[in-house]
A and B are shown apart, each in its own frame.
Chain A
Amino acid sequence: MTMRPPVNRSRRRLLAAWASGMAALPVAGWLFPRAARAAWPKAAFAATTAEGALRELFGGAAIEPSDRVRITLPDVAEDGAVVPLTIETDLEPVRSIVVVSEKNPVPLIARFDFGEDALADTLATRIKLAESENIIVVVQTPERLCTARRYVEVLIGGCS
């Protein structure tokens, strides 16, 4: 026969109180709505090269260089941990914009998906760069994939 440890009643009461408290929170408003998100592209984020990430996202579809995609990045980034990035395009409508790095440990940096009312003409964020490398931007419209790239010299890497 095995001996069971005595039941810790105060702990049970505490757990019950916690559980009922949680139930009282307006949980629904805090949950991330499924419908609000396209699935997080796990395989593309796991890719170890920029080409691999793009292949995961777009299959083998042709990606054409275009001067209608403009990338603003500093020529020299002193701190690779915080590099301001602005993407501009006059392509319309835009379904998504993908940002990939040539040499970061995780090459895929971000995918931005646009709804009907969104204007993809100007998008800005801040990214991390591991070392001096190219940043590749792909703009996806219903018909095609357009790309541009820009080289940034990085003085202090921002991914370690």
Chain B
Amino acid sequence: MTDTPSTTRVRTSIADGICTVRAMMRHVMETGNRRDKLTGALIPAHHITEVACEHNGRVVMSCAWGTGIARNPLLSFRFRGARPGDVLTLRWVDNRGATDVTHVTIE
């Protein structure tokens, strides 16, 4: 499978059939409480709302996020049953409907 162009970086490592996933997404994660320094206007909230991580097409972990996740979100977790060559897919969607999809081959 070819890797999809994406702004997300995903690193995987396997030990004893357990895969550790470390993903870094690129997103402003605006809270909606910040003001533009020049105009004083409120900057509207803009944040990732949902993340899903699939292993060979099955969802292993999903997230519901608000504005309390830091800018350029980091996510690290583990799951069982991974083998080298398996495909891991990480998707997110934000509150404006923008999406990002990343496919990586587990090594």
Task: Considering the complex, give the chain A residue whose CB is closest to the CB of B56.
Answer: A117
Check if B77 sits within 8 Å of A122, measured CB to CB.
yes
* A114-B60 in contact given A36-B54, A119-B18 (Cβ < 8 Å): yes
Knowing A29-B101, A117-B58, A118-B79 touch, does A128 contact B69 (C-beta < 8 A)? yes
Interface size, A (range): 35 or more
Contacts of A40 in B (CB 8 A): 49-50, 64
Chain A residues with Cβ below 8 Å from B91 are 32-33, 36
Q: Are B49 and A119 in contact (CB under 8 A)?
A: no
Report the interface size for chain B: residues with CB under 8 A from the other chain: 39
**B99 with A31: CB separation less than 8 A:** yes
Are A128 and B67 in touch, CB under 8 angstroms?
Answer: yes
CB atoms of B61 and A126 under 8 A apart: no
Q: Which residues of A contact B63 (CB under 8 A)?
A: 110-113
* Per-position 1/0 for B28-66, Cβ under 8 A of A: 010101100000000000000110101100111111111
Report the separation of the CA atoms of residues A128 and B79 in the bound assembly, to the nearest whole angstrom: 26
The verdict on A125 contacting B64 (CB below 8 Å), with A36-B54, A117-B80, A119-B79 known, is no
Q: Does A155 contact B (CB under 8 A)?
A: no
- Given A40-B49, A109-B66, A113-B63: A123 touches B76 (CB 8 Å cut-off): yes
Given A122-B77, A123-B76, check contact A37 B52 (CB 8 Å). Answer: yes
Known: A29-B101, A30-B99, A32-B91. A117 touches B55 (CB 8 A): yes
Instruction: Determine whether the beta carbon of A33 is less than 8 Å from that of B34.
Output: no
Measured CA separation A79–B35 after assembly (Å): 18
Of the candidates B70, B79, B80, the one whose C-beta lies within 8 Å of that of A158 is B70
Q: Is A8 on the interface with B (CB-CB < 8 A)?
A: no
Contact A81 B71, CB 8 Å, known A32-B50, A38-B62, A111-B63: yes
- The answer to whether A125 and B18 touch across the interface, beta carbons within 8 angstroms, is no
Chain A residues in 8 Å Cβ range of B4: 29
Alpha-carbon distance A89/B71, docked complex (angstroms): 26
Q: What residue of chain A has the Cβ atom nearest to residue B95's Cβ?
A: A40
Pairwise interchain contact B70-A82, C-beta atoms closer than 8 A = yes
Which residues from A are CB-within-8-Å of B33? 105, 159-160
Q: Is the CB of A83 within 8 A of B70?
A: yes
Measured between C-beta atoms, what is the minimum distance from B3 to chain A in Å? 13
